[in-house]
Amino acid sequence: MKTLTLPKARLDFLVSVLQQFGEIHGPVAQGDRFVFRRLRRWSDARLDYTRTILPLKKYFLPPRERLFRYRRGEGYVADTTDLERRIVLFGVHACDIYGLNILDQVFGGRYPDPYYQTRRRQVAVVGIDCTPDEHCFCRSMRADVVTRGFDLFLQDLGDRYLTFVGTALGDDMVLATEGLFQPVTRDDVEDYKRRSADRERMFRLEAEIRDLPEIFEMEYGSRLWDELGERCLGCGACSMVCPTCYCFDVADEVALGSTDGARDRVWDSCLFASHAAVSGGENFRASRASRIKFRFYHKQRGFVAEYGRPSCVGCGRCLDVCPAGIDMVEIIAGLREVDHAAAQ
Amino acid sequence: MTTAPRILVIDDDDDFVQSLRALLEREGYAVLHAPDGQEGVLQARRTRPDLIVVDVMMQERTEGFFVVQELRRVPELAGTPIFVVSAVYERTPEFDVPPASDWMAHDGFFPKPIDATSLLDAVRTALATRSHADTQGDHR
Protein backbone atom coordinates (compact mmCIF):
# COMPACT_ATOMS: atom_id res chain seq x y z
CA MET A 1 0.00 0.00 0.00
CA LYS A 2 1.35 3.41 -0.96
CA THR A 3 2.12 5.57 2.08
CA LEU A 4 2.66 9.34 2.11
CA THR A 5 2.52 12.22 4.56
CA LEU A 6 0.34 15.32 4.53
CA PRO A 7 1.07 18.43 6.63
CA LYS A 8 -1.87 18.96 8.99
CA ALA A 9 -1.89 22.68 8.22
CA ARG A 10 -2.91 21.83 4.67
CA LEU A 11 -5.81 19.54 5.40
CA ASP A 12 -8.28 22.23 4.34
CA PHE A 13 -6.64 22.35 0.91
CA LEU A 14 -6.93 18.60 0.58
CA VAL A 15 -10.65 18.82 1.33
CA SER A 16 -11.05 21.65 -1.17
CA VAL A 17 -9.45 19.55 -3.87
CA LEU A 18 -11.47 16.47 -2.93
CA GLN A 19 -14.61 18.33 -3.91
CA GLN A 20 -13.94 17.33 -7.49
CA PHE A 21 -14.61 13.74 -6.40
CA GLY A 22 -17.99 14.57 -4.88
CA GLU A 23 -19.79 16.47 -2.15
CA ILE A 24 -17.73 16.47 1.01
CA HIS A 25 -19.56 14.97 3.97
CA GLY A 26 -17.86 14.88 7.33
CA PRO A 27 -18.52 14.83 11.07
CA VAL A 28 -20.19 17.99 12.39
CA ALA A 29 -21.56 18.82 15.83
CA GLN A 30 -25.28 18.49 16.52
CA GLY A 31 -25.94 19.58 20.07
CA ASP A 32 -23.48 17.62 22.17
CA ARG A 33 -23.39 14.78 19.64
CA PHE A 34 -22.05 14.41 16.13
CA VAL A 35 -23.53 13.54 12.76
CA PHE A 36 -22.16 12.97 9.28
CA ARG A 37 -23.41 15.76 7.02
CA ARG A 38 -22.34 17.78 4.00
CA LEU A 39 -19.68 20.31 4.91
CA ARG A 40 -20.60 23.80 3.80
CA ARG A 41 -17.33 25.17 5.10
CA TRP A 42 -14.20 23.54 6.42
CA SER A 43 -14.59 24.85 9.98
CA ASP A 44 -17.83 22.86 10.34
CA ALA A 45 -15.78 19.66 10.38
CA ARG A 46 -15.15 18.20 13.83
CA LEU A 47 -12.34 15.72 13.38
CA ASP A 48 -12.12 15.32 17.16
CA TYR A 49 -15.52 13.60 17.18
CA THR A 50 -16.02 10.42 19.14
CA ARG A 51 -18.80 8.70 17.19
CA THR A 52 -21.70 9.93 15.10
CA ILE A 53 -25.29 9.31 16.19
CA LEU A 54 -26.01 7.24 13.09
CA PRO A 55 -23.38 5.22 11.27
CA LEU A 56 -22.63 5.48 7.56
CA LYS A 57 -25.29 2.97 6.55
CA LYS A 58 -27.70 5.92 6.30
CA TYR A 59 -25.95 6.87 3.04
CA PHE A 60 -26.42 3.49 1.41
CA LEU A 61 -29.52 2.15 3.09
CA PRO A 62 -31.54 5.25 4.01
CA PRO A 63 -33.93 4.97 6.99
CA ARG A 64 -36.77 5.18 4.47
CA GLU A 65 -36.53 4.97 0.72
CA ARG A 66 -38.93 4.60 -2.18
CA LEU A 67 -37.88 1.65 -4.28
CA PHE A 68 -40.31 2.08 -7.15
CA ARG A 69 -43.71 3.32 -8.21
CA TYR A 70 -46.20 1.33 -10.20
CA ARG A 71 -49.24 2.20 -12.23
CA ARG A 72 -51.57 0.05 -14.27
CA GLY A 73 -50.66 0.36 -17.92
CA GLU A 74 -47.21 1.79 -17.20
CA GLY A 75 -45.66 -0.94 -15.08
CA TYR A 76 -42.89 -0.40 -12.55
CA VAL A 77 -40.70 2.70 -12.48
CA ALA A 78 -37.64 2.53 -10.22
CA ASP A 79 -37.07 5.58 -8.05
CA THR A 80 -33.49 6.57 -8.73
CA THR A 81 -33.54 9.92 -6.91
CA ASP A 82 -30.14 10.63 -5.40
CA LEU A 83 -28.79 7.21 -6.33
CA GLU A 84 -26.03 8.71 -8.44
CA ARG A 85 -24.95 11.45 -6.01
CA ARG A 86 -21.16 11.49 -5.74
CA ILE A 87 -20.05 11.85 -2.15
CA VAL A 88 -16.72 11.86 -0.36
CA LEU A 89 -17.12 10.70 3.22
CA PHE A 90 -14.30 12.49 4.97
CA GLY A 91 -13.05 11.60 8.44
CA VAL A 92 -14.45 8.09 8.86
CA HIS A 93 -13.21 6.03 11.80
CA ALA A 94 -11.78 2.55 11.30
CA CYS A 95 -14.70 0.81 13.02
CA ASP A 96 -17.19 2.46 10.67
CA ILE A 97 -15.12 1.49 7.64
CA TYR A 98 -15.17 -2.06 9.00
CA GLY A 99 -18.94 -1.74 9.28
CA LEU A 100 -19.14 -0.69 5.64
CA ASN A 101 -16.99 -3.62 4.58
CA ILE A 102 -19.45 -5.91 6.34
CA LEU A 103 -22.48 -4.28 4.69
CA ASP A 104 -20.70 -4.60 1.33
CA GLN A 105 -20.55 -8.34 1.89
CA VAL A 106 -24.21 -8.54 2.82
CA PHE A 107 -25.58 -6.33 0.03
CA GLY A 108 -23.09 -7.49 -2.58
CA GLY A 109 -23.17 -11.22 -1.90
CA ARG A 110 -25.49 -13.84 -3.21
CA TYR A 111 -28.34 -11.37 -3.72
CA PRO A 112 -26.79 -8.05 -4.75
CA ASP A 113 -28.92 -5.06 -3.83
CA PRO A 114 -28.93 -2.64 -6.80
CA TYR A 115 -29.91 0.38 -4.69
CA TYR A 116 -27.13 -0.16 -2.17
CA GLN A 117 -24.58 -1.01 -4.83
CA THR A 118 -25.34 2.00 -7.01
CA ARG A 119 -24.97 4.36 -4.05
CA ARG A 120 -21.85 2.62 -2.86
CA ARG A 121 -20.12 3.04 -6.22
CA GLN A 122 -20.57 6.81 -6.00
CA VAL A 123 -19.04 7.18 -2.57
CA ALA A 124 -15.38 7.64 -1.74
CA VAL A 125 -14.11 7.11 1.80
CA VAL A 126 -11.34 9.04 3.53
CA GLY A 127 -10.65 7.53 6.92
CA ILE A 128 -9.01 9.13 9.91
CA ASP A 129 -7.69 7.62 13.12
CA CYS A 130 -9.33 8.33 16.44
CA THR A 131 -8.92 8.34 20.19
CA PRO A 132 -11.00 5.68 21.94
CA ASP A 133 -13.43 6.75 24.67
CA GLU A 134 -15.12 4.77 27.46
CA HIS A 135 -17.56 3.05 25.05
CA CYS A 136 -15.08 1.97 22.37
CA PHE A 137 -14.23 -1.72 22.17
CA CYS A 138 -13.27 -1.91 18.49
CA ARG A 139 -9.87 -3.31 19.41
CA SER A 140 -11.57 -6.34 20.99
CA MET A 141 -13.63 -6.78 17.83
CA ARG A 142 -10.47 -6.50 15.67
CA ALA A 143 -11.88 -3.39 13.97
CA ASP A 144 -9.50 -0.76 15.33
CA VAL A 145 -7.23 -0.99 12.29
CA VAL A 146 -8.45 -1.27 8.71
CA THR A 147 -6.53 -2.38 5.68
CA ARG A 148 -9.25 -1.99 3.05
CA GLY A 149 -12.52 -0.20 2.46
CA PHE A 150 -11.03 3.30 2.21
CA ASP A 151 -9.54 5.37 -0.59
CA LEU A 152 -7.30 7.32 1.77
CA PHE A 153 -6.70 6.83 5.48
CA LEU A 154 -5.09 9.53 7.60
CA GLN A 155 -3.08 8.59 10.70
CA ASP A 156 -2.45 11.45 13.09
CA LEU A 157 1.26 12.03 13.72
CA GLY A 158 0.97 15.37 15.49
CA ASP A 159 1.79 18.01 12.90
CA ARG A 160 1.14 15.73 9.92
CA TYR A 161 -0.87 12.76 8.76
CA LEU A 162 0.65 9.51 7.64
CA THR A 163 -1.61 8.69 4.71
CA PHE A 164 -2.41 5.22 3.41
CA VAL A 165 -3.59 5.16 -0.20
CA GLY A 166 -6.08 2.29 -0.39
CA THR A 167 -7.39 2.39 -3.97
CA ALA A 168 -6.73 3.72 -7.46
CA LEU A 169 -9.28 6.45 -6.69
CA GLY A 170 -7.22 7.37 -3.63
CA ASP A 171 -4.21 7.61 -5.89
CA ASP A 172 -6.18 9.93 -8.20
CA MET A 173 -6.95 12.08 -5.17
CA VAL A 174 -3.27 12.33 -4.35
CA LEU A 175 -2.44 13.24 -7.94
CA ALA A 176 -5.17 15.89 -8.03
CA THR A 177 -3.64 17.67 -5.06
CA GLU A 178 -0.53 18.33 -7.11
CA GLY A 179 2.23 18.15 -4.55
CA LEU A 180 0.33 18.35 -1.26
CA PHE A 181 1.64 14.96 -0.11
CA GLN A 182 5.25 14.13 0.71
CA PRO A 183 7.20 10.86 0.75
CA VAL A 184 7.44 9.04 4.07
CA THR A 185 10.66 9.47 6.07
CA ARG A 186 12.21 7.22 8.72
CA ASP A 187 10.93 9.64 11.40
CA ASP A 188 7.38 9.23 10.11
CA VAL A 189 7.62 5.46 10.43
CA GLU A 190 8.94 5.66 14.00
CA ASP A 191 6.28 8.22 14.96
CA TYR A 192 3.60 6.00 13.50
CA LYS A 193 4.75 3.02 15.59
CA ARG A 194 4.81 5.22 18.68
CA ARG A 195 1.31 6.54 17.99
CA SER A 196 0.02 3.03 17.32
CA ALA A 197 1.36 1.78 20.67
CA ASP A 198 0.00 4.83 22.53
CA ARG A 199 -3.45 4.34 21.04
CA GLU A 200 -3.41 0.67 21.98
CA ARG A 201 -2.98 1.67 25.63
CA MET A 202 -5.94 4.08 25.52
CA PHE A 203 -8.60 1.38 25.26
CA ARG A 204 -10.43 1.00 28.54
CA LEU A 205 -13.05 -1.50 27.45
CA GLU A 206 -12.22 -5.09 26.59
CA ALA A 207 -14.27 -8.01 25.36
CA GLU A 208 -12.71 -11.43 24.84
CA ILE A 209 -14.13 -12.86 21.61
CA ARG A 210 -11.87 -15.91 21.39
CA ASP A 211 -14.09 -19.05 21.09
CA LEU A 212 -17.13 -16.85 21.67
CA PRO A 213 -19.26 -18.57 18.98
CA GLU A 214 -18.68 -21.89 20.76
CA ILE A 215 -19.68 -20.40 24.11
CA PHE A 216 -22.79 -18.90 22.51
CA GLU A 217 -23.58 -22.31 21.06
CA MET A 218 -23.46 -23.93 24.49
CA GLU A 219 -25.19 -21.09 26.36
CA TYR A 220 -28.35 -21.01 24.27
CA GLY A 221 -30.39 -21.91 27.33
CA SER A 222 -28.64 -19.49 29.70
CA ARG A 223 -30.86 -17.61 32.12
CA LEU A 224 -28.95 -14.50 31.10
CA TRP A 225 -31.24 -14.18 28.07
CA ASP A 226 -34.35 -14.15 30.25
CA GLU A 227 -32.79 -11.50 32.49
CA LEU A 228 -31.98 -9.39 29.44
CA GLY A 229 -35.50 -9.90 28.15
CA GLU A 230 -36.79 -8.38 31.39
CA ARG A 231 -34.59 -5.33 30.95
CA CYS A 232 -34.86 -4.76 27.19
CA LEU A 233 -37.58 -2.30 26.20
CA GLY A 234 -37.67 -3.52 22.60
CA CYS A 235 -37.20 0.02 21.34
CA GLY A 236 -34.75 -1.02 18.63
CA ALA A 237 -32.44 1.95 19.25
CA CYS A 238 -29.40 -0.35 19.26
CA SER A 239 -30.31 -1.65 15.80
CA MET A 240 -30.86 1.83 14.39
CA VAL A 241 -27.43 3.06 15.47
CA CYS A 242 -25.59 -0.17 14.67
CA PRO A 243 -23.30 0.13 11.63
CA THR A 244 -24.00 -3.46 10.63
CA CYS A 245 -27.71 -3.95 11.45
CA TYR A 246 -29.32 -4.04 8.04
CA CYS A 247 -32.81 -5.47 8.58
CA PHE A 248 -35.45 -3.66 6.62
CA ASP A 249 -39.16 -3.96 6.04
CA VAL A 250 -40.87 -3.48 2.72
CA ALA A 251 -44.38 -2.11 2.39
CA ASP A 252 -46.60 -1.05 -0.48
CA GLU A 253 -48.40 2.23 -0.30
CA VAL A 254 -51.58 2.07 -2.31
CA ALA A 255 -54.39 4.60 -2.24
CA LEU A 256 -57.79 3.01 -1.80
CA GLY A 257 -59.56 2.49 -5.11
CA SER A 258 -56.55 3.53 -7.17
CA THR A 259 -54.50 1.56 -9.65
CA ASP A 260 -51.14 2.97 -8.72
CA GLY A 261 -48.87 2.92 -5.73
CA ALA A 262 -45.32 2.74 -4.50
CA ARG A 263 -43.08 0.34 -2.65
CA ASP A 264 -41.02 1.66 0.24
CA ARG A 265 -38.37 0.09 2.38
CA VAL A 266 -37.76 1.21 5.94
CA TRP A 267 -35.29 0.22 8.63
CA ASP A 268 -36.54 -2.57 10.82
CA SER A 269 -35.21 -4.17 13.98
CA CYS A 270 -35.22 -7.75 15.19
CA LEU A 271 -36.11 -6.31 18.60
CA PHE A 272 -39.49 -5.11 17.36
CA ALA A 273 -42.38 -7.37 18.38
CA SER A 274 -43.56 -7.56 14.78
CA HIS A 275 -40.20 -8.60 13.32
CA ALA A 276 -40.85 -12.34 13.30
CA ALA A 277 -44.63 -12.15 13.13
CA VAL A 278 -46.20 -13.86 10.15
CA SER A 279 -49.68 -14.09 8.76
CA GLY A 280 -52.06 -16.23 10.74
CA GLY A 281 -51.00 -14.65 14.01
CA GLU A 282 -47.87 -16.72 14.56
CA ASN A 283 -44.81 -14.96 15.98
CA PHE A 284 -41.60 -16.94 16.03
CA ARG A 285 -39.98 -14.60 18.54
CA ALA A 286 -42.87 -13.35 20.59
CA SER A 287 -40.92 -12.71 23.80
CA ARG A 288 -38.41 -9.92 24.27
CA ALA A 289 -35.93 -12.45 25.64
CA SER A 290 -36.05 -14.44 22.39
CA ARG A 291 -35.62 -11.28 20.34
CA ILE A 292 -32.62 -9.91 22.17
CA LYS A 293 -31.07 -13.36 22.19
CA PHE A 294 -31.55 -13.54 18.44
CA ARG A 295 -29.81 -10.19 17.96
CA PHE A 296 -26.77 -11.21 19.97
CA TYR A 297 -26.57 -14.61 18.32
CA HIS A 298 -26.76 -13.12 14.87
CA LYS A 299 -23.99 -10.60 15.63
CA GLN A 300 -21.58 -12.85 17.48
CA ARG A 301 -22.27 -16.34 16.24
CA GLY A 302 -24.37 -16.49 13.08
CA PHE A 303 -22.27 -13.96 11.27
CA VAL A 304 -19.06 -15.77 12.17
CA ALA A 305 -20.41 -18.94 10.60
CA GLU A 306 -21.48 -17.09 7.45
CA TYR A 307 -18.70 -14.56 6.95
CA GLY A 308 -15.87 -15.62 9.24
CA ARG A 309 -16.08 -12.76 11.76
CA PRO A 310 -18.62 -11.21 14.11
CA SER A 311 -20.65 -8.38 12.62
CA CYS A 312 -20.12 -6.25 15.72
CA VAL A 313 -17.33 -3.71 15.16
CA GLY A 314 -17.15 -2.41 18.73
CA CYS A 315 -18.11 1.18 17.86
CA GLY A 316 -19.89 1.55 21.19
CA ARG A 317 -23.05 3.15 19.81
CA CYS A 318 -25.40 0.53 21.30
CA LEU A 319 -23.85 1.02 24.74
CA ASP A 320 -24.31 4.73 24.33
CA VAL A 321 -27.98 4.73 23.33
CA CYS A 322 -29.61 1.83 25.17
CA PRO A 323 -32.14 3.34 27.60
CA ALA A 324 -31.97 0.16 29.69
CA GLY A 325 -28.17 0.21 29.89
CA ILE A 326 -27.75 -3.12 28.12
CA ASP A 327 -24.10 -3.50 27.36
CA MET A 328 -22.64 -5.85 24.73
CA VAL A 329 -19.30 -6.04 26.56
CA GLU A 330 -20.94 -6.95 29.89
CA ILE A 331 -23.01 -9.63 28.21
CA ILE A 332 -19.97 -11.20 26.59
CA ALA A 333 -18.22 -11.13 29.97
CA GLY A 334 -21.33 -12.57 31.65
CA LEU A 335 -21.52 -15.47 29.22
CA ARG A 336 -17.86 -16.28 29.75
CA GLU A 337 -18.21 -16.27 33.51
CA VAL A 338 -18.03 -19.66 35.16
CA ASP A 339 -21.30 -20.44 36.95
CA HIS A 340 -19.99 -22.25 40.07
CA ALA A 341 -23.48 -23.00 41.35
CA ALA A 342 -24.42 -24.73 38.09
CA ALA A 343 -21.14 -26.66 38.04
CA GLN A 344 -21.77 -28.40 41.36
CA MET B 1 -36.88 48.90 -20.87
CA THR B 2 -33.91 46.65 -20.20
CA THR B 3 -32.70 46.06 -16.68
CA ALA B 4 -29.03 46.25 -15.81
CA PRO B 5 -27.32 42.85 -15.49
CA ARG B 6 -26.80 42.06 -11.82
CA ILE B 7 -23.42 40.93 -10.52
CA LEU B 8 -23.13 39.41 -7.06
CA VAL B 9 -19.77 40.01 -5.37
CA ILE B 10 -18.99 37.62 -2.49
CA ASP B 11 -16.03 39.08 -0.64
CA ASP B 12 -15.26 40.20 2.90
CA ASP B 13 -12.80 42.91 1.86
CA ASP B 14 -14.83 46.16 1.96
CA ASP B 15 -12.22 48.22 0.16
CA PHE B 16 -12.04 45.75 -2.69
CA VAL B 17 -15.83 45.52 -2.93
CA GLN B 18 -16.15 49.30 -2.98
CA SER B 19 -13.69 49.71 -5.83
CA LEU B 20 -15.14 46.78 -7.78
CA ARG B 21 -18.63 48.21 -7.29
CA ALA B 22 -17.51 51.59 -8.65
CA LEU B 23 -15.91 49.90 -11.65
CA LEU B 24 -18.89 47.72 -12.49
CA GLU B 25 -21.55 50.35 -11.85
CA ARG B 26 -19.75 52.78 -14.14
CA GLU B 27 -20.19 50.17 -16.86
CA GLY B 28 -23.90 49.94 -16.19
CA TYR B 29 -24.04 46.81 -14.05
CA ALA B 30 -26.01 46.52 -10.83
CA VAL B 31 -23.84 45.22 -8.00
CA LEU B 32 -25.05 43.06 -5.13
CA HIS B 33 -22.77 42.24 -2.23
CA ALA B 34 -22.45 39.44 0.31
CA PRO B 35 -19.71 39.62 2.97
CA ASP B 36 -19.24 35.88 3.45
CA GLY B 37 -19.82 32.56 1.76
CA GLN B 38 -22.97 31.56 3.58
CA GLU B 39 -24.70 34.86 2.89
CA GLY B 40 -23.40 34.72 -0.67
CA VAL B 41 -25.05 31.39 -1.39
CA LEU B 42 -28.30 32.58 0.19
CA GLN B 43 -28.31 35.78 -1.88
CA ALA B 44 -27.43 33.91 -5.04
CA ARG B 45 -30.35 31.54 -4.52
CA ARG B 46 -32.71 34.42 -3.75
CA THR B 47 -31.67 36.94 -6.37
CA ARG B 48 -30.37 34.70 -9.16
CA PRO B 49 -27.74 37.16 -10.39
CA ASP B 50 -26.39 37.17 -13.93
CA LEU B 51 -22.80 36.69 -12.80
CA ILE B 52 -21.05 35.92 -9.51
CA VAL B 53 -17.61 37.02 -8.35
CA VAL B 54 -16.24 34.98 -5.41
CA ASP B 55 -13.18 35.63 -3.29
CA VAL B 56 -11.27 32.57 -2.07
CA MET B 57 -9.99 33.61 1.34
CA MET B 58 -12.70 35.09 3.54
CA GLN B 59 -13.33 34.10 7.16
CA GLU B 60 -11.64 30.84 6.23
CA ARG B 61 -8.83 30.57 3.76
CA THR B 62 -10.57 27.97 1.62
CA GLU B 63 -14.10 29.37 2.03
CA GLY B 64 -14.38 30.45 -1.61
CA PHE B 65 -13.76 26.91 -2.80
CA PHE B 66 -16.67 25.65 -0.77
CA VAL B 67 -18.85 28.51 -2.02
CA VAL B 68 -18.08 27.74 -5.66
CA GLN B 69 -18.97 24.09 -5.15
CA GLU B 70 -22.13 25.05 -3.29
CA LEU B 71 -23.23 27.44 -6.04
CA ARG B 72 -22.63 24.79 -8.65
CA ARG B 73 -25.15 22.57 -6.92
CA VAL B 74 -28.00 25.07 -7.16
CA PRO B 75 -30.03 24.06 -10.25
CA GLU B 76 -31.42 27.58 -10.69
CA LEU B 77 -27.88 28.89 -11.04
CA ALA B 78 -26.83 26.42 -13.71
CA GLY B 79 -25.13 28.41 -16.43
CA THR B 80 -24.45 31.42 -14.21
CA PRO B 81 -20.82 32.42 -14.77
CA ILE B 82 -18.67 32.34 -11.64
CA PHE B 83 -15.42 34.31 -11.47
CA VAL B 84 -12.90 33.56 -8.73
CA VAL B 85 -10.71 36.36 -7.42
CA SER B 86 -7.85 35.90 -5.00
CA ALA B 87 -4.56 37.19 -3.75
CA VAL B 88 -3.67 34.06 -1.81
CA TYR B 89 -1.68 32.49 -4.58
CA GLU B 90 0.75 35.34 -4.26
CA ARG B 91 0.97 35.70 -0.51
CA THR B 92 0.34 32.30 1.06
CA PRO B 93 3.32 30.03 0.32
CA GLU B 94 1.61 26.79 1.30
CA PHE B 95 -1.34 27.54 -0.95
CA ASP B 96 -0.04 26.04 -4.13
CA VAL B 97 -3.30 24.69 -5.54
CA PRO B 98 -3.23 25.88 -9.15
CA PRO B 99 -6.01 28.38 -9.88
CA ALA B 100 -6.75 26.58 -13.15
CA SER B 101 -7.58 23.31 -11.38
CA ASP B 102 -10.67 21.61 -12.76
CA TRP B 103 -12.25 21.17 -9.36
CA MET B 104 -12.70 24.90 -8.89
CA ALA B 105 -15.46 24.74 -11.53
CA HIS B 106 -15.15 28.44 -12.28
CA ASP B 107 -15.44 30.47 -15.47
CA GLY B 108 -12.56 32.83 -14.85
CA PHE B 109 -9.76 33.46 -12.38
CA PHE B 110 -8.43 36.95 -11.61
CA PRO B 111 -5.51 37.48 -9.25
CA LYS B 112 -5.76 40.50 -6.96
CA PRO B 113 -4.99 43.30 -7.60
CA ILE B 114 -7.35 42.87 -10.50
CA ASP B 115 -6.65 44.12 -13.97
CA ALA B 116 -9.83 46.13 -14.65
CA THR B 117 -9.72 45.85 -18.42
CA SER B 118 -9.41 42.08 -18.50
CA LEU B 119 -12.12 41.66 -15.87
CA LEU B 120 -14.56 43.91 -17.72
CA ASP B 121 -13.81 42.14 -21.01
CA ALA B 122 -14.47 38.80 -19.37
CA VAL B 123 -17.69 40.04 -17.76
CA ARG B 124 -18.97 41.37 -21.10
CA THR B 125 -18.11 38.13 -22.89
CA ALA B 126 -19.63 35.91 -20.19
CA LEU B 127 -22.86 37.93 -20.05
CA ALA B 128 -23.16 38.05 -23.84
CA THR B 129 -22.69 34.27 -24.03
CA ARG B 130 -25.26 33.77 -21.30
CA SER B 131 -27.71 36.17 -22.89
CA HIS B 132 -27.30 34.41 -26.26
CA ALA B 133 -27.93 31.03 -24.62
CA ASP B 134 -31.06 32.41 -22.92
CA THR B 135 -32.37 33.78 -26.19
CA GLN B 136 -31.75 30.47 -27.93
CA GLY B 137 -33.56 28.81 -25.10
CA ASP B 138 -36.58 31.08 -25.57
CA HIS B 139 -36.96 30.02 -29.18
CA ARG B 140 -36.85 26.33 -28.50
pLDDT in tens, B91-118: 666 666 666 666 566 788 888 889 999 9
* Model confidence, pTM: 0.89
Whole-number pLDDT of residue A80:
79
Chain A residues within 8 A of B101 when measuring between CB atoms? 17, 20, 176, 178
Q: Of B2, B52, B64, which is closest to residue B24 (Cα–Cα)?
A: B52
Q: Is B63 on the interface with A (CB under 8 A)?
A: yes
How many angstroms away from the CA of A269 is the closest CA of chain B? 35
Pairing relation of β-strands A123-128 and A87-92?
parallel
- The whole-angstrom separation of Cα B124 and Cα A75 is 50
Chain B residues within 8 A of A179 when measuring between CB atoms? 96
Q: pLDDT, tens digit, for every residue of B19-61?
A: 999 999 999 999 999 999 999 999 999 999 999 999 999 998 8
Q: Mutate which of B39, B65, B95 to disrupt the A interface (most A C-beta within 10 Å)? A: B65
Sorted by sequence, the CB contacts under 8 Å of residue A56 that are 6+ apart come out as: A36, A89, A92, A96, A99, A100, A243
Q: Is B103 on the interface with A (CB under 8 A)?
A: yes
Sorted by sequence, the CB contacts under 8 Å of residue A328 that are 6+ apart come out as: A137, A207, A296, A299, A312, A318, A319
Q: What is the pLDDT along chain A (344 residues), one digit of tens a residue?
A: 899 999 998 899 899 889 889 999 999 999 999 999 999 889 999 999 999 999 999 999 999 999 999 988 888 888 877 788 899 999 999 999 999 999 999 999 889 999 999 999 999 999 999 999 999 999 999 999 999 999 999 999 999 999 999 999 999 999 988 788 999 999 999 999 999 999 999 999 888 888 988 998 898 999 999 999 999 999 999 999 999 999 999 999 988 888 899 999 999 999 999 999 999 989 999 999 999 999 999 999 999 988 888 999 999 999 999 999 999 999 999 888 877 666 55
Q: How many CB pairs under 8 A join A and B?
A: 55
How many angstroms away from the CA of B58 is the closest CA of chain A? 11
Whole-number pLDDT of residue A126:
98
Contact B60 A39 (CB under 8 A): no
**For chain A, which residues make up each domain, given as ranges?**
2-61+78-200, 212-343
Q: Of A192, A97, A92, A93, which is closest to residue A136 (Cα–Cα)?
A: A93
pLDDT of B78 strictly over 60: yes
Write phi, then psi, for A92 (nearest 5 degrees): -90, 135
| ipTM > 0.90 for the complex | no
Strand partners, B109: B84
Chain B residues within 8 A of A40 when measuring between CB atoms? 37-38, 41, 66, 70
How many angstroms away from the CA of B100 is the closest CA of chain A? 12
Whole-number pLDDT of residue B140:
35
Determine the topology of domain A2-61+78-200 in CATH: Aspartate Aminotransferase; domain 2 (3.40.640)
pLDDT of B88 strictly over 80: no
Chain A residues within 8 A of B73 when measuring between CB atoms? 23
Buried b (16+ CB within 10 A) or exposed e, A155-184: bbbeebbbbbbbbeebeebbebbeebbeee
Whole-number Cα distances in Å, A39 to A66, A238, B24, B106: 26, 27, 32, 20
Whole-number pLDDT of residue B62:
87
Whole-number pLDDT of residue A57:
97
User: What is the 3-state secondary structure of chain B?
Assistant: CCCCCEEEEECCCHHHHHHHHHHHHHCCCEEEEECCHHHHHHHHHHHCCCEEEEECCCCCCCHHHHHHHHHHCCHHHCCCCEEEEECHHHHCCCCCCCCCCHHHCCCEEEECCCCHHHHHHHHHHHHHHHHHHHHHHHHC
